[in-house]
Amino acid sequence: MTTSVSFFVTGILNGTLNAIRSVVPTCVSTGTPKLVTTPIVQPEMGVLIGITGQVRGRLFVEAKHTVFAAIAEAMFGMQLEGDMLESFVGELGNMIAGNMSTLVSQESINIDITPPTVLVGQTKLSGYETAIVIPVQLESNDELRVLLMVGEISAH
């Protein structure tokens, strides 16, 4: 990776992880980032958000549905399931990506986000050369995975 690519990727990853820390109402710790070049299989549930602007790519947050349900309960004090849980997962992705977008703008990285797409059931993600995957451990020992799939980067 060139210096500018590394700058953008690091900025977006740090922004995303800081956004998760501010949105998810539980202590979180992050694992080691890992480069992935093969398709990723999401076993249960996730939210996909496109990134446009200086960086074009996709942000994906995935976990078991029970993990998303526990986050929803911690945020709202009630259990969600079915369509309500799916709606929550989309909104959680929107909050994380929106917060990340605001944080990276402070680093002079100009991006925008697309509306979230919620994926339910086993889904195979492909169509990228490289993705960076970071496990995020919640206080409950549950885990989210954050994937950043970067496409095009523009200095403008």
> Does the pLDDT at position 3 exceed 70?
no
pLDDT tens for each residue of 70-105: 999 999 999 999 999 999 999 999 999 999 999 999
Q: Please say whether the beta carbons of 36 and 143 come within 8 A.
A: no
Angle, nearest 10°, between helix axes 82-105 and 3-23? 130
- Separation CA 13–CA 6 (nearest Å): 10
- CATH assignment at residue 28: 3.40.1550.10
Residue with tokens 């990276």: 104
Residue at 43: amino acid letter = P
The total number of structural domains that make up the chain: 1
- Separation CA 124–CA 39 (nearest Å): 6
* The token pair that represents 129 in the structure block: 């050369």
pLDDT tens for each residue of 47-71: 999 999 888 899 999 999 999 999 9
Query: What b/e string do you get for 56-89 counting C-beta neighbours within 10 Å, with b at 16 or more?
Result: ebbbbbbbebebbbbbbeebeeeebeeeebbebb
The DSSP secondary-structure symbol of 114 reads P
Domain residues for the domain of 76 are 3-153
- Per-residue pLDDT, 1: 43
- Per-residue pLDDT, 107: 86
pLDDT tens for each residue of 99-138: 999 999 998 888 999 999 999 999 898 888 778 999 999 8
Q: What share of the chain is helix, strand, coil (3-state, %, to 5)?
A: 35, 35, 30
> Does the pLDDT at position 156 exceed 60?
no
Beta carbons within 10 angstroms of residue 55's beta carbon: 22
Backbone angles phi, psi at 114, to 5 degrees: -95, 165
